[in-house]
Structure 1
């Protein structure tokens, strides 16, 4: 069993509660709008990080981050991007099991045509009345068990 931590839309704010939740993960995925490279360095002290650049990641230190990433965890193939509306591939045809995104600040766990779509929501500053949240994928073989956890604001 492998635990993958999910975080997005931190916008430069790494909450201690988010770090506590991510402890024990074998990998962390940040789905963009990171804010500062130091935030990725802090996450990397917890577990290896896969990160994509978000529409607000204009800092020169984040300029080299890719817009998308492919991640293989055991038998599970994942596609990571910031804004799901920018999805330019057919995940089914490309053999992806999971699509991870951020941007909307709205947590989402939804299956479409056999592909699991997960957005952990925003772990940064509260936006409107949306929750502050992080997530995880627990992967065993080809089974993926997603979970979104709201953090205290």
Structure 2
């Protein structure tokens, strides 16, 4: 079994509580609106990082990130993008098991047609009254156990 950390919408703010939660992950996925390459560099001290560009990622290095990434993890296929509304594939027919997205700042874990959709919410600055969250996927072969955790603000 291995643990994949999920984070999104940091917008230049990497909270110590998020770093603490992600410590011990085998891989970290950032679903965009990173805000600064320093965020990815800090996360990379914990585990290898896969990141996609969000709609606000225009700064040095961030504009070069892909809009979407297909990420094989053992027997599982993840597809990572920032805005789920811009999903340009049919995950089920493409063999994708988990779609990870951000953008809405709203945490979500939902299964539809054998595909798991996970949005870890926003780990950056609070937007409206939405919670500050991060997430994880515990992967064991073809089994995925998702979890989104609210951080203390």
Extract unaligned runs of 5+ from structure 2: none
Measured against aligned partners, the alpha-carbon deviations of 1:25-59 in whole angstroms (never above 9, x if no partner) come to: 00000000000001100000000000000000010
**Cα distance in 2 for residues equivalent to 1:39 and 1:5:** 14
Q: Name the counterpart of 1:66.
A: 66
**Cα distance in 2 for residues equivalent to 1:72 and 1:19:** 24
Q: Name the counterpart of 1:89.
A: 89
Q: 1:19-34 maps to which residues of 2 (within 5 A)?
A: 19-34=19-34
Cα RMSD (Å) of the superposition? 0.4
Q: Name the counterpart of 2:120.
A: 120
- Deviation of 1:116 (Å): 0.1
Q: Name the counterpart of 1:2.
A: 2
Measured against aligned partners, the alpha-carbon deviations of 1:70-95 in whole angstroms (never above 9, x if no partner) come to: 11111010000000000010001100
**Cα distance in 2 for residues equivalent to 1:124 and 1:60:** 19
The normalised TM-score by structure 1 is 0.99
Divergent runs of 4+, >6 A: none
SS at match of 1:135: strand
Q: Name the counterpart of 1:149.
A: 149
**Cα distance in 2 for residues equivalent to 1:63 and 1:7:** 18
Matched, 1:46 2:55: no
**Cα distance in 1 for residues equivalent to 2:113 and 2:138:** 20
The normalised TM-score by structure 2 is 0.99
Q: Name the counterpart of 1:131.
A: 131
